Amino acid sequence: MNVANEWRSARVKSIRDLSADIRLIEIEMSGPFAPAAPGSHIDIAVEIAGRPSTRSYSLLGPGRDGVHEVAVKLASDSRGGSAYMWTLKPGAVLKTTAPANHFDLNLDCNEYILIAGGIGVTPIHAMARALAAQGKDFRILYGARTRSDLVLAEDLRALAGERLQISCAEDGQRVDIAAAIASLGKEGELYICGPIGMLDEARAHWSRSGRPPANLRFETFGNSGRYPNAPFTVLLPHIGRTIEVAKTQSMLEALEAAGIEAMYDCRRGECGLCALDVIAVDGVIDHRDVFFNEEEKAEGHKLCACVSRIAGTSITVDTGERPA
């Protein structure tokens, strides 16, 4: 059950490939249009294996003339969302939400570091545009696996000049998060979007630095985990149900498809509304959220059903539902 989601019609205005597996999609919104704040995203209704679902995509900027831009990477381990988005053609009709923001940019700070990992560059691009427009002191660290993944490097270079530092794994480089934090002024803020491993590293270094927790802000994408996607089983002993989760499904999607009512909002592992109590696990929980801290993840008492998975056979949870 989504707590706040107002859908509106939209249309694909244009499509442009930024690389072999990253596509820029312009979406023309219906109804009143307002520029989106940096860090905003929209939800898009998609169809996966014949079933309706929802995916969230960060916006590249505030938008203009009623049009928003998203960049979609065709993931090799896609649960189906990116594959669906890549079937779209100009003129296709969509249902989307208005922009929402769980990754707010504070424009009252004096110094910023922005860190992007792979396709996590999309909200970072929007933030860089806003900071450049306001003449703020900011630096960008942009890392990716391959040079072809650095699709927005030239845009960011135009905004940041020499303040952009690029790291490419195929060249033996990686983003030095510890050094970046050490170089940031005491009141500076760090914004990071990337795979869960990158975020965990940033959170660990930030915590050890003794800096204010509120000055580190982050967002991830829900398909980034420590283990590859594999099917598993969810056991619901309080109602005597067993639910199979396919490789291409999230646990939340599998529960919904089985008619199990579950609370959710962001579907990105950020809000914690879909968190379920864990009773037992045959395997390892692959926490892919940024809601729980490392201690809570290690305890394994809860998990975010919208993104987290099991590397193993099964998990027994309590959804709160009881027999009528």
pLDDT at 3: 43
Q: Which residue carries 């900027």 as its tokens?
A: 61
SS3 at position 28:
strand
pLDDT at site 294: 84
Q: What are the distances in angstroms from CA 302 to CA 33, 223, 315? A: 39, 19, 11
What is the per-residue pLDDT for 5?
A: 57
**CB-CB neighbours of 242 under 10 Å:** 12
**Sequence-distant (≥ 6) Cβ neighbours of residue 6 within 8 angstroms:** 97, 98
In tens digits, what is the pLDDT along the chain, a chain of 324 residues? 444 458 999 999 999 999 999 999 999 999 889 899 999 999 999 988 777 888 889 999 999 999 999 999 998 766 678 999 999 999 999 999 999 998 999 999 999 999 999 999 999 999 999 999 999 999 999 999 999 999 999 999 999 999 999 999 999 999 999 999 999 999 999 999 998 889 989 999 999 999 999 999 998 875 667 888 899 999 999 999 999 999 888 999 899 989 998 888 888 888 899 999 999 999 999 999 888 988 899 999 999 999 999 999 999 999 988 887
Residue type, position 1, single letter: M
Distances from the Cα of 160 to the Cαs of 132, 156, 179, in angstroms?
Answer: 7, 6, 19
Instruction: Considering only CA atoms, give the Rg of the chain.
Output: 20
Q: According to the model, what pLDDT value does residue 141 have?
A: 98
Q: How many CB atoms lie within 10 A of CB 73?
A: 22
Looking at residue 4, its pLDDT comes to: 46
> What structural domains does the chain harbor?
7-97 (2.40.30.10), 111-220 (3.40.50.80), 232-318 (3.10.20.30)
- Beta-ladder partners of 242: 235
Paired tokens of 197: 């491993």
pLDDT of residue 38: 97
